[in-house]
Amino acid sequence: MKSLPNTQPNARKFPLVDYHYQTSMLKGSSAPCLQTSKSLRDITRDYFDAEADREFLSEAAVFTALSAMAIMPIVTVISAVLQLLSTLPLF
């Protein structure tokens, strides 16, 4: 939204700032901490220890499927080349 021009000659251009403002002090909490926080390394180690077994099986299945799909065209090409060589007359 476009600001409107100031129509009053004595109007302020900026709001008045209180330079002596002080925030209120917060009192300490009386509740004890339930558990000490772990480091990020410990948290990730706990997570990946549980995840590693499940992820390995799915990744192994995907790797096997991709390997089979990559080998099938190679075997087909080798078979076609051998068939071509068998039909060509030898010198």
Q: What per-residue confidence (pLDDT) applies to 49?
A: 80
Residues in the chain with pLDDT values less than 50: 1
Instruction: Please check whether residue 6 is in contact with residue 13, taking contact to mean a CB–CB distance below 8 angstroms.
Output: yes
Q: What per-residue confidence (pLDDT) applies to 51?
A: 75
Measured between alpha carbons, how far is 56 from 48 in angstroms, rounded to an integer?
11
Measured between alpha carbons, how far is 48 from 40 in angstroms, rounded to an integer?
12
pTM: predicted TM-score of the whole model, two decimal places: 0.38
- Backbone region of residue 26 per phi and psi (left: phi > 0; alpha: psi in -120 to 50; beta: other values): beta
Structure-derived torsion over alpha carbons of residues 39, 44, 49, 50, reported in degrees to the nearest 10: 110
Q: What per-residue confidence (pLDDT) applies to 31?
A: 62
Q: What per-residue confidence (pLDDT) applies to 30?
A: 66
Q: What per-residue confidence (pLDDT) applies to 24?
A: 76
Q: What per-residue confidence (pLDDT) applies to 50?
A: 73
